[in-house]
Amino acid sequence: MNKRPVPWVLIVFCLLAFYARTPAAPLADDYSPVNQDETRRLIKQADKLVRYNELVKAEEILRNVLQASPENSTAKLRLAYVLLKQRRLIEAFNLCDQVGATDPKNTRALALMGAALLAAGKFTDARNYFYTAIKLNRREGLAWAGYGLLDFYENRIDESIKNLKNATILDPFEPDFIFALAQVSARAERYKEAADAYFKFLSVSRGDTDDRRERIKGLIRFLRFLGNKSKLYEASGPEKTSVPILLTGNRPIISVKVNGGKDTLNFVLDTGSGISVISDETAARLKIKPIARGGQAKGIGGDGKFDIIYGFLKDVQIGEVKIRNVPVYIRPFHSRGFDIDGYIGLSLISKFLTTIDYGNLSFSLLKRGTEAEKAFDETAMSLPLRLTSSGFLSGEVKLEGIEYPLNFIVDTGASISVISNDLASVHPVSQFEQNEKLRVVGSAGIEENVPSFILPQVSFGVHSRRSVDAVALDLDVINEASGFEQAGILGGNFLRNYRMTFDFKNSRVSFSPV
């Protein structure tokens, strides 16, 4: 196995925006070391600042150490770690590569390079680095954590938990490892374990904002509530059900019933949401009370934030299938025109083989273990998907003029496709900007004067569309939570041309043109 793959062109192209966006901390003579003892003291001081999330100050100290001792490998790797936490991936990778050039068996350097590549969405290269680091040193916690996250993104949940637990045993006071374990435990529906891990995270982490700590406390309360429920998303009814779709603004809307009610509600099928959502107005009308709350979530539009409120539905009925014990978010909706009561997230439908047919305007759920599912497994030509830390589905998309595939969220709940501001600024894409500015309604409000583009060709696997409309948005809020870089969103204006079957268990989707 090649221990040090260096996909330079790929890394520079995909990550240049991150390197340029965040300037280096200024050098300060006050922190310049004068001898080895002073160097060790300053590195220790920087380590303490990192634990308190004072990353800019830690970076400043470490840069001064390197100014005085340019070949100090310890300082380089500490600085690389600080840059990695700030998502400045190129410089972090390059610093580690410098160390690896003189010390190819430095497992910390290998693990950090793997982590940088994983954050950039370069899974194969990241896996090689983690494998080599662990082969050389089975006590390299960062490599085990990286493997655990990689397993999570590729939906190997049990393996992910095993590797992340290994990382927390090797480094029990590293908050990032504990936080990742909490996320994956929640995904595995081990809610009590997830709550305990988040609680431990709060006890060992320092320097987090009050709002973030409140968010986690609210989540802990909600997870403890869920942990006392016998079973979530418990389905009853026939093996298959199918309901009609109303397509509004490229978004598929179906009628559902909630909590045994007779009235039908309008819910958007939203593969861009991990958890289902119900509007605050609908929740009030149906007397659905909050279970827990805490802090604010980040989203697109408005001021970029909205209050986090958790609710719980006794059941959701889709066609003839009833799904019991459904966690939801409760939040205000900002869309105007067609009345939307909620959004169906991935968790609600993930235990079914799910088909959205934009041709005959239908939505179908097929239970696992049926003959029809086995037939699909044998005949389907599918594209792989990955799961982000925040619960989105991500696939590899190619844009004309760009050599390498990019990670895009597959989002049936988005009316139009999206590219990140960083991608929009790259020449192969920037030349296709249009004069028209658009108005975008996001989860956190409304954003005006959004740049629009017509992309000459967008391809997902073998399926391509020409002249695809898109808007450019700041996707930092998504990428901060997704775990690996998302360059855009594949929205309804692309997806509406296909019949799609989502196999969530095996992280894949099949496409058929309509």
Handedness of CA 276, 281, 284, 285 (dihedral sign): negative
Alpha carbons 194 and 192: distance in angstroms, whole number: 5
User: What CATH class is the domain 8-227?
Assistant: mainly alpha
pLDDT of residue 10: 36
pLDDT of residue 7: 37
Alpha carbons 384 and 40: distance in angstroms, whole number: 47
35 DSSP 8-state letter: S
Q: Where are the beta strands (DSSP E) in 284-371?
A: 292-298, 305-318, 321-331, 342-344, 352-357, 362-367
pLDDT of residue 24: 44
Which class for 403: exposed (0-12), middle (13-18), buried (19 or more C-beta within 10 A)?
A: exposed
Of 178, 171, 169, 172, residue with least CA distance to 201:
178
Residues of the chain with CATH 2.40.70.10: 234-347, 384-513
Q: Are 366 and 241 in contact (CB under 8 A)?
A: no
CATH second-level architecture of 234-347? Answer: Beta Barrel (2.40)
pLDDT of residue 14: 41
- Residues of the chain falling short of pLDDT 50: 1-29
pLDDT of residue 34: 58
Strand 240-244 to 362-367 pairing: antiparallel
pLDDT in tens, 3-23: 344 333 333 334 333 333 334
Fold observed for domain 384-513: Cathepsin D, subunit A; domain 1 (2.40.70)
Task: Report the Cα–Cα distance between both ends of the chain, in Å, rounded.
Answer: 43
Residues of the chain with CATH 1.25.40.10: 8-227
pLDDT of residue 303: 66
pLDDT of residue 11: 36
Q: What is the pTM of this model?
A: 0.89
pLDDT of residue 302: 63
pLDDT in tens, 392-423: 899 999 999 999 999 999 999 999 999 999 99
